[in-house]
A and B are shown apart, each in its own frame.
Chain A
Amino acid sequence: LFAGGKDMPDLSAFPKSQQVTFKYHQGVLAFLEENYVAAEQHLTDAWNNCHKDAVRNKERILTYLIPCRLIKDHMLPTEKLLAQYPRLQKLFLPICRCIKRGELHNFDLALQEGEDELVKRRIYLTLERGRDLALRNLLRKVFIARGFEEAKEGEKPARRSRVPVTEFAAAISLGSQERIDNDEVECLLANMIYKNHMKGYISRQHGIVVLSKSGAFPGTGV
């Protein structure tokens, strides 16, 4: 596809339908190479130029654009978008819902459920990485659920930023009903902090996580 690229006329010299096809394949190739930045660019180009009635083609583009956006920008398709494409809805909706709600265990189940189809389309491994987002949203829910410190006079109430590891552990095992030990939870938490899904540090001595007072969960408004 790329070979001889220099000998070819500019892409804009081709009919639009061919441009879209070319961009789609370029996007999928980049996607499979896990170059999600390039993939998103190509697929978005294809999407924007795709004929509005070419439903099957738009469906194909979205098959890769959705996982791409998920990993790169932490964006999910709206339910409205998915509703227009029943096949994609079946494929993505359960997974997206679980991510949004932070239902970690249900996320695992949804991924298992769709495994054959997702592997066939070669998006399984990419979507699997969405587990981090489900976990982030679950941990964030714990943080939100714990509410606020008593406000000092004249100050805005701050969220309670010191969270016992056991509370995160309870949240994680809530879905699966499997007990998970604190070391394993600490490991998950450390990973979250490392990946910048969560800001703060773990105090092993006290068994608590001290979360950042300004933006404990980057990009999520708290």
Chain B
Amino acid sequence: AASGGDATQHLWEESWDDDDTSDDFSAQLKEELKKVEASKKR
């Protein structure tokens, strides 16, 4: 009746994303950070 044993590695992952910054949110974030930096220079 053993189950899950071998598959355990595939069931859990670390709680952070990889360094993929191509998703929408990351893009939005980059824009926002640029704005902050720009307002500082002014």
Contact = CB atoms under 8 A, between A and B. Distances in A.
Q: Do A and B bind each other?
A: yes
Interface of A: 16, 47-52, 58, 69-70, 74-78, 80-81, 99-103, 133, 136-137, 140-142, 144-146, 164, 166-167, 170-171, 174, 217, 219-220, 222
Contacts of A74: 14-15
Given A137-B15, A170-B32, A219-B14, 14 more contacts: A48-B4, A51-B1, A58-B3, A58-B4, A100-B15, A100-B16, A100-B17, A101-B23, A133-B15, A140-B16, A141-B26, A142-B33, A144-B19, A145-B29
Interface residues of B, number: 27
A145 B17 contact: no
A75 B12 contact: yes
A101 B18 CA distance: 10
Nearest to B35: A170
B42 interface: no
Contacts of B28: 174
A70 B15 CA distance: 8
A220 B26 contact: no
B14 A220 contact: yes
Question: Which of B25, B26, B32, B33 has the most A CB atoms < 10 Å from its CB?
Answer: B33
Contacts of A103: 25
16 contacts: A16-B1, A51-B1, A51-B3, A69-B12, A74-B15, A76-B15, A78-B12, A100-B17, A133-B15, A137-B17, A142-B29, A144-B21, A167-B36, A170-B33, A174-B29, A220-B16
